[in-house]
Chains A and B, each alone.
Chain A
Amino acid sequence: MALRDFIPTAAAPRVRPDQPGADEQCRLWYAAHGRAIYRYLRFQSDSADAADDLTADVFLRVLEAGHRYDPARADARTWIFGIARNALRDHFRRLKVRRHVTVDALRDLAGDAPSPEERVLREEEIGQLLAAVQTLGAKDRELIALRYGSELPFADIGKVLGLGDAAVRTRLWRALARLRGLLTEESA
């Protein structure tokens, strides 16, 4: 069954844990959006563990609220990113005080390095980059997470944030310019 066949075209019945097919629904939702959601959350959380927990929260909520999803109002990706945004806000509310700079072990960093030394250097470089992203404002951070974490096209970022394509681009370039300023300050 292709994913598009699974995504409901009308309100889906509520999934109960004991109901046959709950596993399958979870697998399909996760296969379609899990990586993008994880990376979106990872760019904005301070560790791989936090991103794991947040991703689980998002998909538990998706499974619970799937019957309320209305494809006439938003496509599945926009809907699930809306849930992820709420979960992230909730997470920060729980934390109360955000950590500004965090470079923990990047166990979830993708890609292979030719040697362990190069892997360490790469982790350090990405860690600094991620730490700088964490010090940006929430809107900048979210834009960068959607673009470089989830790798969404500008049009899809616009749907998630309720912005036009051009506005997304302009804001992203501004966010990058601010990030570059932060990195320059740090290296100075």
Chain B
Amino acid sequence: MTRIPDTRVPPDLESLDAALRGAGFEPRASLEPEIAGRFAAGERYAPSPRRFLPAAARVAAVLVLLLVGGAVRAGYVPALDAFAATKVTNICCQDLDGVGGADDGVIVETVAGTRVRRLMVYEEHDKDQTWSSGELIRFERPADPTLVAPSAGDSLVTHTYCCGDFDGGGLPDDGVLVVSTTSGRVLMAALFDKIGYPTNNLLR
């Protein structure tokens, strides 16, 4: 049975093409009057109800994934920290408290190369230029920068050390800011970005 005009069928598909051409079907003769009768009786095409909820749920899931992906990449959502890459950087040794020379180190744990999760200032005692157990911890804080209340009469001194890639973001654009008393008690420590500091920048 050859009903389709000949076309350039690839030689290796010719037999299958011929077999398919032979698969002709004919609707039963009563179908057309039956349709006309159903229409005349007022019957209408009834599409199945669209599944709006699953479709909406799929869209929502995609949006959530996009948001989560973006948030994790940017490191802006603390609740998502568990899924993001973290980095611990040891910055040693500088004079960050105004006492004892360049014997202070900072250990900072960052999330996704941006957000500070923990920060610690220590005093490097054993002269190995890095953190060792037994070093004196001068200051420790969680994610948000906090200022320990100074005692009455304390004078405050600000120390900065800039710049390096302290947050693991890949650019040497981070600095360390430490606020201490003149006696060397550390009241606050944070990272800052070189760009925009100090007028247009938040401490981290």
> Which residues of chain A have a CB within 8 Å of any CB of chain B?
17-18, 22-23, 26-27, 30-31, 34-35, 38-39, 42-43, 48, 51-52, 55-61, 63-64, 86-87, 90, 93-94, 106, 108-111, 122, 125-126, 129-130, 144, 147-149, 151, 153-154, 169, 173, 176-177, 179-180, 183
Contacts and interface: CB of A to CB of B under 8 A. Distances in A.
Contacts of A63: 39
Contacts of B1: 110-111
A22 B39 contact: yes
Interface residues of B, number: 37
B5 A126 contact: no
B51 to A, nearest CB: 7
Contact of A129 (B9, B19, B32, B45): B19
A27 B32 contact: yes
A126 B1 CA distance: 13
B10 A173 contact: yes
Contacts, number: 122
Interface of B: 1, 3-5, 7, 9-10, 12-13, 16-17, 19-28, 31-32, 34-36, 38-45, 47-48, 51
30 contacts: A18-B40, A22-B36, A23-B36, A23-B40, A30-B32, A38-B25, A39-B24, A42-B25, A43-B23, A48-B25, A56-B35, A56-B38, A57-B45, A60-B43, A60-B45, A64-B39, A87-B45, A90-B48, A93-B51, A94-B48, A106-B25, A109-B26, A110-B24, A126-B22, A148-B4, A173-B9, A173-B13, A176-B13, A180-B12, A180-B16
A147 B40 CA distance: 33
Contact of B48 (A58, A93, A106, A144): A93
Contact of B25 (A59, A64, A147, A149): A149
Contacts of A59: 35, 39
Contacts of A35: 26-27
Nearest 10 interchain pairs by C-beta: A110-B24, A38-B27, A61-B45, A148-B20, A26-B36, A30-B32, A60-B45, A42-B25, A110-B26, A94-B48
Given A22-B40, A61-B45, A63-B39, A34 B32 contact: yes
Nearest to A106: B25
Contacts of A56: 31, 34-35, 38
Contacts of B26: 35, 38, 108-110
Given A55-B27, A179-B16, A180-B13, A17 B40 contact: yes
A144 to B, nearest CB: 7
Contacts of A153: 5
Nearest to A183: B16
Nearest to A153: B5
Pick the most buried of B4, B27, B31, B38: most chain A CB atoms within 10 A of its CB.
Answer: B27
